């Protein structure tokens, strides 16, 4: 890596050791015809993706000592989104965290939920909508997570899409990417019988967790509350506070990269970076 002052979002040597082999193998499979290896180190490309994810800046506003938009977004981010490399890296770290917790690589139980977020100006109207229940114009993120709060599947739809559409798409992804290990899924009352029926067809028992009408405020439900944890985590990445991406697939990729960043830190025992001024906090 070239000499420069590090950013809080930069990968440490230990974290790059987790991700680097996948990126290096990808690079070896995608050599240019001329044999040119490119002007930027792969570690710096990933650092640029993490920097933007944490700060929420525009591609054109990346610092001059990081690779520019032309390389980071137009080539690598898009290529890794389209061929699934972002998910491969995410799955590698997820499996390592589950093994560290003495669990099998793939879960037997998942929790599904959705979150509607505002779309930024410039996001195509054709891929957005208005959530009538939450009164949010934008997009709807759906997550399937395990009991550790690790993401198993991501789906991004227009906010006007019913939770059933998100639930069905998530169940399909869960069945495809876990090798059929998932036996049960917990959902809230926003999901209806269509999701239950679809899960049954996949061999997954979908349970709708009913809220006690006498309770007020946020009351965590055993196991089902775990899905709230990753939603809180990804919102710490400012690029995900709103949906800025033109393509829903890019929005989903953003979630995978955010969780990859978090899991790399967990596996290496690093603290989550803060953007606050330490002097202001202690003053």
Q: Which residues pair with 156 in a beta bridge?
A: 141
Question: Does pLDDT of 219 surpass 70?
Answer: no
Phi, psi of 141 (to 5 degrees): -95, 135
d(CA 68, CA 59): 8
Interatomic CA distance for residues 21 and 92, integer angstroms: 11
d(CA 146, CA 98): 10
- Which range among 17-31, 34-48, 57-71, 87-101 shows the weakest confidence by mean pLDDT? 34-48
| 106 SS3 class | coil
Give the dihedral sign, CA 152/158/255/275.
Answer: negative
Average pLDDT across the chain, whole number: 90
Q: What CATH architecture applies to the domain 106-213+221-245?
A: 2-Layer Sandwich (3.30)
Label residue 65 by pLDDT band (50, 70, 90): very high
Asked if residue 260 lies in contact with residue 275, where contact means CB atoms within 8 angstroms, the answer is no
What is the average per-residue pLDDT within 140-151?
A: 96
Would you call 187 helix, strand, or coil by DSSP? strand
Cα–Cα distance measured from residue 111 to residue 227, given in angstroms and rounded to the nearest whole number: 6
Do 164 and 192 form a contact (C-beta atoms < 8 A)?
yes
Check whether 282 has a pLDDT greater than 60.
no
Residues sharing a CB contact under 8 Å with residue 65, sequence separation 6 or more, in sequence order: 2, 4, 5
- Asked if 76 and 53 touch (Cβ cutoff 8 Å), the reply is no
Phi first, then psi, for residue 123 (nearest 5°) are: -70, 130
Residue 142 has pLDDT above 50, yes or no: yes
Residue 257 has pLDDT above 80, yes or no: yes
Sorted by sequence, the CB contacts under 8 Å of residue 103 that are 6+ apart come out as 148
pTM for this model (two decimals): 0.90
Residue 223 has pLDDT above 90, yes or no: no
- Those residues whose C-beta lies under 8 Å from the C-beta of residue 223, and which sit 6 or more positions away, are 109, 111, 147, 186
pLDDT tens-place string over residues 22-38: 999 999 998 876 556 66
What pLDDT is stored for residue 75 in this prediction?
92
Per-residue model confidence (pLDDT) at position 218: 58
Is residue 9 classed as helix, strand or coil in its secondary structure?
Answer: coil
């Amino acid at each position: 890596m070239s000499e420069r002052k590090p950013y809080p979002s930069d990968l440490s040597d230990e974290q790059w050791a987790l991700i680097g082999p996948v990126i290096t193998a990808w690079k070896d499979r995608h050599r240019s015809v001329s044999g040119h290896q490119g002007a930027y180190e792969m570690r710096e490309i990933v650092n640029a993706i993490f920097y933007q994810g944490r700060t929420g800046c525009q591609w054109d506003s990346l610092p001059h000592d990081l690779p520019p938009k032309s390389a980071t977004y137009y080539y690598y981010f898009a290529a890794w989104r389209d061929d699934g490399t972002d998910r491969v890296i995410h799955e590698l770290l997820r499996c390592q965290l589950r093994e560290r917790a003495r669990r099998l690589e793939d879960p037997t139980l998942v929790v599904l939920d959705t979150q509607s977020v505002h779309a930024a100006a410039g996001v195509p109207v054709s891929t957005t909508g208005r959530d009538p229940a939450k009164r949010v114009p934008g997009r709807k993120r759906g997550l399937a997570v395990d009991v550790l709060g690790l993401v198993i599947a991501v789906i991004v739809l227009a906010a006007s899409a019913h939770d059933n559409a998100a639930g069905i798409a998530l169940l399909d992804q869960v069945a495809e990417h876990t090798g059929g290990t998932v036996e049960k899924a917990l959902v809230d009352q926003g999901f209806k019988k269509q999701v239950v029926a679809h899960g049954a067809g996949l061999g997954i028992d979908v349970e709708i967790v009913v809220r006690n009408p006498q309770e007020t405020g946020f009351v965590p439900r055993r196991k089902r509350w775990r899905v709230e944890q990753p939603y809180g985590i990804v919102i710490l990445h400012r690029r995900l506070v709103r949906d800025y991406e033109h393509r829903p697939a890019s929005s989903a990729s953003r979630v995978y990269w955010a969780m990859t960043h978090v899991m790399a830190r967990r596996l290496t025992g690093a603290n989550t970076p803060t953007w606050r001024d330490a002097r202001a906090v202690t003053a």
